[in-house]
Amino acid sequence: MKIGGRKVNKENCDKMEEECGVLGIYSDTLRNDIVSFAYYGLHALQHRGQESAGITICDSISENRARHKTIKNMGLVSEVLTGENLTSYAGNVLIGHIRYSTTGISEVENCHPLRGESAMGKISLAHNGNLINTSKIKKELTENGSLFQTTTDTEIILKLLGKNAKYGYKKSLLNMLDKVEGAFALVIIIENKLIGIRDPHGIRPLCLGETSDGLYVLASESCALDALGANFLRDIEPGEMVIIDNNEIESIKYKVNSIKSPCSFEFIYFARPDSIIDGIDVYSVRHEAGRALYEQNPIEADIVIGVPDSGIPAAIGYSEISGIPYGAALVKNKYIGRTFISPSQELREKSVKVKLNPIKDLIEGKRLVVIDDSLVRGTTSKKLIKMLLDSGAKEVHFRSASPVVKNECYFGVDIAEKKELIGSFMEVEKIKEEIGATTLEYLSLDNLSKILKSNDFCMGCFTGKYPIKNMEI
């Protein structure tokens, strides 16, 4: 299988960039506050993508017909869903999306949700993930007369649904799922039905909740349920499709006996620390990673620092087991926005100093343990270490709360090409020298598996072994 249409944002390759987030809401009554409700749910998922935001509202109650209204644009949730939008529309079904593009150009045409008309009625669709056989399917569809309006792999899903619409919505969905391969969490409106789908390996997360007044909510992370006051019901299982209609939930297991392989980086970096995914507490994973880092290589130091925000839980864990005091010696500018799209290289070079500023009184003359969630290219880590040394640090012992990143991701994560991943061509000792650290330690693969209590998680970016076999990469 060829990997089709994958886009990498090379301006900010020093982090595994966020993927996307999806939200679905179903009510059996007309809601005037459904957009406001979605606003808070999407805002809770904003960490998963800051490029664009959008919603589709369905009113299937007034005049007894399904009417779809879509609002989407480039920008943050607060920039797209403005005061007027929050109060002007009523409906009973809604899907929402925040985007960080891994396929397709960053422009409004590629914002989700995507909409279409078909023999089974109106379709609206939002997607988190990445299909790996897009080239093959798109070629087949194009040869059969399909025209594409966007450059996203999501439109392929929409076209497949439309192609099979004559068979009815269930068969159409199942035919589509039989065609596509990759990682995906989907929320779909077909006429007045809300549908949630998780890929056969469960690489991308999706969960289900219910509010006290009877709203069903689908979301990429449980933190969105918390923001909406919804009780967590369960995770959507790998290879499962749920259909919510007439205030009832139908579950269809479209792929049986698949190996559950959630993305390990959800727990290392992507997800919010207050989320629970597949029964695993994200904060606990990061906290335990810090404890394991100390046990791997105990050292003497004066202070432990976590790189905000995702490095902090690991730093706290490291501090607790080592007895070395934790210090909030790095201050993050929470209003910096998307510095990776700065208009010039000169400005991008200043991004670390703009994002993070050290408190010199906590650093000067001290031996530091600095813990970050990961080390991908090393450029940011190098700048950070220099900044700390320039602020008077005596030693900087750098710790990565993930194993060595050696390989690309093909499942909806924006990561540098393999040749740019420092761990793919340098040994740890050389990386230490390159970034200027006094010592360097990565979380071991064995410890990550122990913390996750399984070897079945997707760890392809560390091992080169992916849950989907026979990929031509």
Could you give the residue numbers annotated as active site?
A: 20
What is the secondary structure of 15-61 as a DSSP string?
A: S-B--EEEEEEEEEEEETTHHHHHHHHHHHTGGG--SEEEEEEEE-S
Which tokens hold the place of 69? Answer: 């209204």
435 to each of 17, 157, 375, how far by Cα in Å? 21, 43, 10
As a whole number of angstroms, the distance between CA 416 and CA 221 comes to: 25
Alpha-carbon torsion angle 158, 159, 165, 167, nearest 10: -110
Which of 415, 473, 468 has its CA nearest to residue 183?
468
Beta bridge pairs of residue 472? 2
Q: Which residues contact 136 (CB under 8 A, 6 or more apart)?
A: 1, 2, 4
Beta bridge pairs of residue 252? 241
Which of 164, 154, 192, 157 has its CA nearest to residue 68?
192
Distance of CA 45 to the CA centre of its chain: 9
**What's the angle, vertex CA 264, arms to CA 113 and CA 308, rounded to 5?**
85
Beta pairing class for 395-400 and 439-442: parallel
As a whole number of angstroms, the distance between CA 17 and CA 354 comes to: 19
Which residue is listed with tokens 């990498």? 8
Cβ neighbour number for residue 183 with a 10 Å cutoff: 29
Cβ neighbour number for residue 259 with a 10 Å cutoff: 12
| Helix axis angle, 282-296 to 312-322, nearest 10° | 50
